[in-house]
Amino acid sequence: MTHAAQASKAPEVGKPARRPHTKRPSRRAAETRAGYAFLTPWLLGFLGLTAGPMLASLYLAFTDYSLFRPPEWVGLDNFTRLFDDPRYLNSVEITLQYALIGTPLKLAAALGVAMLLHSRRRGQGAYRSFFYAPSLIGASVSIAIVWRAMFIDDGVVDRLGQGVGLEAGGWVGDPSMTVYMLILLTVWQFGAPMVIFLAGLKQIPNELYEAAEVDGAGPLRKFFRITLPMLSPVLFFNLVLETVHSFQIFGSAFIVSNGTGGPADSTMFYTLYLYFRGFRDFQMGYASAMAWVLVLFVGAITLFFFKTSKYWVHYSGEGR
């Protein structure tokens, strides 16, 4: 790379900048060499750690492979088995449940608190930082342990529930409640999208609201006609990011269920099941098929968001 950098500098040394006709080809070649020299670490990483492994897992998805035997081609077997596997279907179901309930709640909380904070200037910076804090630690093992301790039988949440007459028992041991416990954990981390919403709210020119007031628009109207459309690019960004991330919940589910995905597979989320199949049972072909279904699904969702965005995302100013 030093070589390339020197080569790129060579044409300029000594010679005046005129006479481009003879200099330009070598200069461009030097630029190309310098460009690829700078790109080399990323290219190695991209080819060796991303693109290569993606192709490899695509191949493995069509094989029966454990770490100890060579892969054996089985065609579409893994994929057809997936859709006959009740544990797999269960993992899809609870992951969708988690994403479809958790993401809207989290974004609603984020938007609500952002608008609340935006309505007053004083103390906004401090509140913003403070409310953001859970996003930084929420995915950690520590917080998952705390969550487990709080939602366990006779734990804090159970006691509070008893206080208002709910005899729900612990959420940790109740297969119908574990998903909601993790949804609360993700909603608790509304700070990150909130900060992004706040930045978006600051961009909305105040004149729009003033003009709307002159026209006699009420608060709901202003919200739906000004705030939401003006905020839609930010909302789009948050929606894509949060949805894609919510499909990948792993650590907190792992810890809360003490590494089992239980009780009764109720925390066996998609990636957890993938981990169990791939790294506990070493059915790496099967797990690769799972990974590819996830990628295709996430890709489809993202594409869906982008395709529909032209109907509801408004970019102000020139361009679209």
Structure tokens at 201: 């709210």
From the CB of 241, what's the least distance to another protein, in Å?
Answer: 6
CA distance to 36, 44, 111, 284, per residue, from 52 (Å): 19, 10, 40, 16
**CA dist., res. 320 & res. 315, Å (int):** 6
- How many other β-carbons are positioned within 10 Å of the β-carbon of residue 56? 12
When the beta carbons of 56 and 264 are compared against another protein, the nearer one is 56
Return d(Cα 122, Cα 267) in angstroms, integer.
42
β-pairing verdict for 63-64 and 72-73: antiparallel
Q: Which of 82, 96, 208, 240 binds another protein (CB under 8 A)?
A: 240
Supply the minimum distance, in Å, between the C-beta of residue 312 and another protein: 18
Q: Which of residues 72-101 bind another protein (CB under 8 A)?
A: none
Residues 290-309 that bind another protein (CB under 8 A): 290-292, 294-295, 298, 302
Single residue of 165, 218, 317, 319 touching another protein by CB under 8 A? 218
- Tell me the β-bridge partners of 63: 73
Q: Does 205 interact with another protein (rule: CB under 8 A)?
A: no
String of contacts with another protein for each residue 163-202, x by CB under 8 A = --------------------xx--xxxxxx--xx-xx---
CA distance 52 to 60: 12
263 touches 178 (CB < 8 A): yes
Tell me if 226 contacts another protein by CB under 8 A.
Answer: no
Is 231 an interacting residue with respect to another protein (CB under 8 A)? no
> Does 53 interact with another protein (rule: CB under 8 A)?
yes
| Contacting residue, 22, 50, 80, 176, with another protein by CB under 8 A | 50
Does residue number 152 form part of the binding site for another protein (CB under 8 A)? yes
